[in-house]
Structure 1
């Protein structure tokens, strides 16, 4: 166990929120079709407006007193918050190890040089495609593609660490190989996500199990293909071997599967929390069933309540007794967002992982042939 693993284990055991996500605003200069949070400034004003720097820094200081070390600034597009620099500087002065989520389109030389003065642990740039055309189709902002490419160059020149996140959708799946190649070229890691949460938050609960996303079969194939493109052969072959144990869905009688009580098994509500742009604290930004307003609570009191609710929370989806659970890794947020309740069967996940299982075998076989070919050369 690494020192970092020990730190997280101790935080979970003692209820120390080592990390927290601060969703500064839901406003963005992109209009991504699968986004789960985006609102216009008009909608934001109608719902009470944005919290200013003083409000955010007060909550962040309270979180620091509880043990927070790794804050994440996110949105929407957080750089659009009028007080972003004041908030960031305040966290730096607290000695925090900051990460920032951004689409990158606003980062020019001035922003890059400003970040370089007191660099974050990293800036997580979401990469949405490999061309202006793809950015236009997915984000409604084709001109952003060149700006994002420039932003990467500016940040690299300034010595600011960059990590890519890649959300794969029907509009950009054809660019997957190109996006991974771009990340390799600029020597930054890339994390590919082919599962898109239903935008339940954005649509006030009317989109359970729905999104403008890949079919589950396409998402599973894209997941396996992304791993084939970037993983070491040994890991890919090991992953294929693990998925050989995936039980085909037509061999499972879900009505007869014994359900067992499950608890939230991630860091959410145990060693991390999320504060949304309206001032509510929750254990997970994708699971809003448990949240408390910070209007009349301290962060400490809200965190105590949140931890208690998280520890007491039980749910019994079909997943709990399914032999494929170790491979699917479904969580309470996925079950809730797919089914509209916490005890259903997230069929999309079942089908996505069944597809991944089949395609891992195909790409593993391709990998074996490539290894054999290289050995004979």
Structure 2
């Protein structure tokens, strides 16, 4: 998982590539609060207020601002503000404006249900790079099943409409589970109707983090269903011509991938190399789904915490079996997912093996439907 890093242009792509090689932390995710007005079954961050208070407290505005100055000096430029529901953070507006004034490029993850005219006005006057609003269904019943908050659907859609009219860049995210998989086409329809890009995720990692039980034992789809949904939504998101080209590119890449070396591989994404996350408790980690390695950034200081995280990330090794697999360049696996799926960094995450194999099968079937074999 790469913290929703999306490049706007070639300059950004080159910037991240240079930062990756030099271990410069250009991208950070700040989890401002674990509190949320919804209670989605698959969320591994959300806590009730009593659960939060039993584990710690939210950091104050002054604490985040002092840390932000250290982050800027270290090279941080892009920040994703998230939660929980970040708009519930008591000093969100003050922190947001201060980060903008520092020159930070801000993205906000939100469920959208709190965005009323006042919030829309705020974001129209202080525009972020983008606001990502997750739709958990295409109706109130879908929201009730997964989020236990039926009225959230209408509020989220109104938020998207209002922000778009105010000239704020919005993207719709979707997280598909057994409880809402039937809503995937409806969510895509909403994106088309509102002229908003949609990105639907069908792999739900069994994250635990501050919660007590992994999502794998709650309501995620089996690998076959998740893969089928993945390919279906990709075709709709891309359109037939781009989808065909993408499929042929992936098949060609697999054909040209020889058997790898029999040795463990490290973290292959940007986590712990040029990106990081800081939890609501002030713990720096390489990635949003990981609990370890972890550094108390408010005690250690940003620079030292980042140095420690990069060194510890280098020591994380994945499966030597995965490093030999001919599907390794297409598969979404990584040591962090292996740990969550199987309990060890160097394990083979069988769920993802099946997810990848089924995805290739459904790609072929979709190409046949298009008339391209």
TM-score normalised over the length of structure 2: 0.91
In the superposition, relative to structure 1, how do residues 317 and 129 fare at CA in structure 2: closer, same or farther (>3 Å)? farther
The 3-state SS of whatever aligns with 2:131 is strand
1:81: how far off? 0.8
> Runs of 4+ in structure 1 displaced over 6 angstroms?
none
Check if 1:152 corresponds to 2:160: yes
| Deviation of the 1:159 alpha carbon | 0.9
Q: Is 1:170 aligned with 2:170?
A: no
- Cα 1:140–1:277 shift into 2, 3 Å: same
Report the alpha carbon displacement of residue 246 of structure 1 after superposing the two structures with TM.
10
CA distance in 1, matches of 2:158, 2:370: 34
Equivalent-residue separation in structure 2 for 1:27 and 1:239 (angstroms): 39
- Report whether the alignment pairs 1:343 with 2:346: yes
Encode CA deviations 1:117-155: one digit per residue, 9 max, x unaligned: 110000010111100110111110001111111111111
State the 1:200 CA deviation: 1.8
Q: Indicate the SS of the match to 2:294.
A: strand
Structure 1 pair 246–208 and aligned structure 2 pair: CA distance change class (3 A): farther
Q: Given the alignment, which residue of 211, 224, 227 partners 1:217? A: 224
Contact 2:341 2:351 in 1 (8 A): yes
Q: Is 1:239–1:360's contact at 8 Å kept on the other side of the alignment?
A: no
Whether the aligned pair in 2 keeps the contact of 1:127 and 1:179 (CA below 8 Å) is: yes
Once residues 346 and 50 of structure 1 are traced to their aligned partners in structure 2, the CA distance between those partners, rounded to angstroms, is: 34
Provide the residue aligned with 1:195 in structure 2: 203
Deviation at 1:244, TM superposition (A): 5.2
Separation in structure 2 between the aligned mates of residue 211 and residue 281 of structure 1, nearest angstrom? 27
Aligned to 2:60: 52
User: Would the aligned equivalents of 1:108 and 1:151 in 2 still touch at CA under 8 Å?
Assistant: yes
Q: CA deviation at 1:242?
A: 5.2
* C-alpha contact 1:260 1:320 (8 A) present in aligned 2: yes
SS of residue matched to 1:160: coil
Alignment of 1:9 onto 2:12: no
Q: Summarize the alignment of residues 87-166 of structure 1 with structure 2, pairs less than 5 Å apart.
A: 87-166=95-174
**Larger displacement relative to structure 2 (269-278 or 232-241):** 232-241
| Distance (Å, rounded) in 2 between the aligned partners of 1:350 and 1:198 | 15
Which residue of the partner structure matches residue 27 of structure 2? 19
The within-5 A match list for 1:277-292 is 277-292=280-295
Partner of 2:245: 238
Q: Which residue of 1 aligns with 2:6?
A: none
Other-structure match for 1:276:
279
Rg larger in structure: 1
What are structure 2's unaligned runs of at least 5 residues? 1-8, 255-259
SS at match of 2:293: strand
Report Cα offsets for 1:37-77 as digits up to 9, x if no partner: 11101111111221111111111111111111111100000
The answer on whether the counterparts of 1:102 and 1:124 sit within 8 Å (CA) in structure 2 is yes
Matches of 2:168 and 2:229, distance apart in 1:
30
Whether 1:307 aligns to 2:307 is no
- CA positional deviation for 1:86: 1.3
Shift of 1:258: 7.0
Bigger Cα displacement from structure 2, 307-316 vs 120-129:
307-316
Aligned to 1:372: none
- Tell me the CA shift for residue 31 of structure 1: 0.9
Q: TM-score, normalised by structure 1?
A: 0.91
Question: Within 2, Cα distance between the matches of 1:173 and 1:208?
Answer: 16
- 3-state DSSP of counterpart to 1:104: coil
Farther off after superposition, 194-203 or 18-27: 194-203
Deviation at 1:315, TM superposition (A): 2.7
Check if 1:76 corresponds to 2:79.
Answer: no
Q: Using a 3 Å threshold, how does the CA distance of structure 1 residues 246 and 338 change in structure 2: closer, same or farther?
A: farther
- Cα distance, 1:234 vs structure 2: 3.0
Give the match's secondary structure for 1:124. Answer: strand
Alpha-carbon distance in structure 2 between the residues aligned to 1:51 and 1:242: 46
Q: 1:199·1:211 contact (CA, 8 Å) conserved in 2?
A: no
Shift of residue 262, structure 1, vs aligned partner = 0.5
CA offset at residue 168 of structure 1? 0.7
Cα-Cα RMSD: 2.0
Relative to structure 1, is the Cα distance of residues 52 and 22 closer, same or farther in structure 2, using a 3 angstrom cutoff?
same
- Residue of structure 2 equivalent to 1:326: 329
* Residue in structure 1 matched with residue 4 of structure 2 by the alignment: none
SS of the equivalent of 2:84 reads coil
Q: C-alpha separation between the residues in 2 aligned to 1:352 and 1:50?
A: 37
